[in-house]
Amino acid sequence: MTDYYTRRLALLGQDEHRALLTKGLRGIERETLRVKPDGKLALTPHPPSLGSALMQPQITTDYSESLLEFITPAENDIATVMTELDTIHRFVYTQLGDEMLWSDSMPCELPDEEQIPIAWYGTSHIGTLKHVYRRGLALRYGKRMQCIAGIHYNFSLSEAVWPLLQQVAGDPCTARSFQSDGYIALIRNFRRYSWLLMYLFGASPALSKNFLAGRPHSLETLDDDTLYLPYATSLRMSDLGYQSKAQANLTPHYNNLDSYIKSLSRAVSQSYPPYEEIGTHRDGEWIQINTNILQIENEYYSTIRPKRVINSGERPIQALSARGVQYIEVRCMDIDPFEPTGISLETGRFLDAFLLFCALEESPCTTDDESIENGENFSKVVKEGRRPGLELQHNGAPITLQAWGLALLKKIGAAAVLLDAQRDDNQHADALEQQRRKLQAPELTPSARVLAAMQEHQETFAQFALRQSNVHAQQFRARPPSPEEHAYFTEMAAKSLDEQAQIERTQIGDFDTFVAAYRASTLGNMSV
């Protein structure tokens, strides 16, 4: 361990500072497809009893009308977040009829592209803008790619940690700049080491042939309906997932916040010739917000993002520019098909230790060569992470995945010990030990367990995922929400529907003017 990391751990471990580690925030966003009992995509509208997808803060849709997204409040303890995520699932199951939530990141059997329903958010200008943005995604990347689901993990340290670290460092910059620089440094380390998360938690080694119908690929055939790679951990995060020539040159090094903001600002304002050929209208209807490299900032597909809660009328990059980074969003986590909510408490505990390590460890600026090395390591692990003796590159030198992983776990272990000291238990250390066993025994990884379960039951990928979906559905239906929980979500649903109706009743002007205002970054009250 570096002296830098050891000193920072010791500082936060002092009696007068130790409680700060309990005051950071965590949150989870879980995406999941609605499916019919036969495992095919549900083509029904978003259930009104769940509320307005536009206005309900905890239950909404992502790309498709069939792709639900559950958003927990931000909490100090990931255990509280997990309880809230579980409650959302239990309520939703009371409103789904015979439909179920798909248990996997890779999609169920999908209909023809034109039949996959794009999410609808009503007739307000902001609702229409959200729909048009998704129409643009369909044109740019295809609807099937947008039906892939994942877990997003939001993480922040206590706001009081950063002034403490700054005081000890003697850094003369502003407090806002120091905090932003700290989160950007976290992101640099995350990109160095996130291949480890793909090995430990990747859970998508296989997919249905239906998903890649008509597309060239290099996958192997497992059975009549399943494609896979024998040592893959996360095909979701491979080049079979989101591909974008337009975004190919959008690779900020995260060496400072300004360069990141400038890179995204350029992408949301610079037109891209192939998108110009598509245009913004077809048969008099809007089909994408603009013809730029990115329609909006969130179109940039990254494994991690710096984030800031936005105010009314702000774009995400405006919020970052004005007030700096507030938290980070990890976006590379697969749905765990063996967990009813898609993620376990132990995974959350490990992520907290991993991200604390990334925040406190020394994080030199990234060179072009290192950026390439980081990308190649990540790509190699998602496609062949369980290959015996697999070697990665570390500072230009070869090292086995296992040796590097165990060395990282030793460093992360120091952060886990510090976190456990605040709780007076061993939950983080226990979570770390689970991951150490996976490095020593690849068959314990989720990706290996998926393939083993398919083999044991003589199942295709779709049959495996449907079986897991049924298991989870039965578990949630056996534990309906309490009357108080049910009332809470029912009232939230009704309120959200009223708020959407209010917006639709009171809006002024036409949609074209609204889009022009959005392009000029001067509009209203929500993000897309």
- Interval 79-91: pLDDT, tens: 999 999 999 999 9
| 265-319: pLDDT as tens digits | 889 999 999 999 999 999 999 999 999 999 999 899 899 999 999 887 788 888 9
**Helix 125-141 vs helix 511-519: crossing angle, to nearest 10:** 70
**Distance from C-alpha of 206 to C-alpha of 221, rounded to nearest angstrom:** 10
| 304-348: pLDDT as tens digits | 999 999 887 788 888 999 999 999 999 999 999 999 999 999 999
| 356-411: pLDDT as tens digits | 999 999 999 999 999 999 999 999 999 999 999 999 999 999 999 999 999 999 99
| pTM for the model | 0.96
Q: With contact defined as beta carbons under 8 Å apart, do 60 and 95 qualify? A: no
Of 370, 333, 145, give the one whose Cα is nearest residue 251. Answer: 370
**Distance from C-alpha of 140 to C-alpha of 32, rounded to nearest angstrom:** 22
- Amino acid, single-letter form, for residue 312: S
CB atoms near residue 398 (< 10 Å): 8
* Every domain of the chain and the residues it spans: 3-519
**Distance from C-alpha of 243 to C-alpha of 446, rounded to nearest angstrom:** 25
| 220-258: pLDDT as tens digits | 999 999 999 999 999 999 987 555 677 877 767 789 999
Predicted pLDDT at 522:
43
| Exposure string for 314-349, b = 16+ CB within 10 A, e = fewer | bbbbbbbbebbbbbbbbbbbbbbbbbbbbbbbbbbb
pLDDT at 525 over 50: no
| Average confidence (pLDDT) over 15-39 | 96
**Distance from C-alpha of 510 to C-alpha of 36, rounded to nearest angstrom:** 38
CATH class of 3-519: alpha beta
Predicted pLDDT at 102:
98
| 54-79: pLDDT as tens digits | 999 999 999 999 999 999 999 999 99
| 91-123: pLDDT as tens digits | 999 999 999 999 999 999 999 999 999 999 999
**Distance from C-alpha of 323 to C-alpha of 486, rounded to nearest angstrom:** 37
Q: In sequence order, what are the residues at sequence separation of 6 or more whose Cβ sits closer than 8 angstroms to the Cβ of residue 77?
A: 22, 26
Length of the chain: 528
| 412-447: pLDDT as tens digits | 999 999 999 988 899 999 999 999 999 999 999 999
Predicted pLDDT at 521:
67
| 482-499: pLDDT as tens digits | 999 999 999 999 999 999
Sort residue 375 into left (φ over 0), alpha (ψ -120 to 50) or beta: alpha
> Residue 390 is encoded by which pair of tokens?
């697999």
> Residue 382 is encoded by which pair of tokens?
């998602």
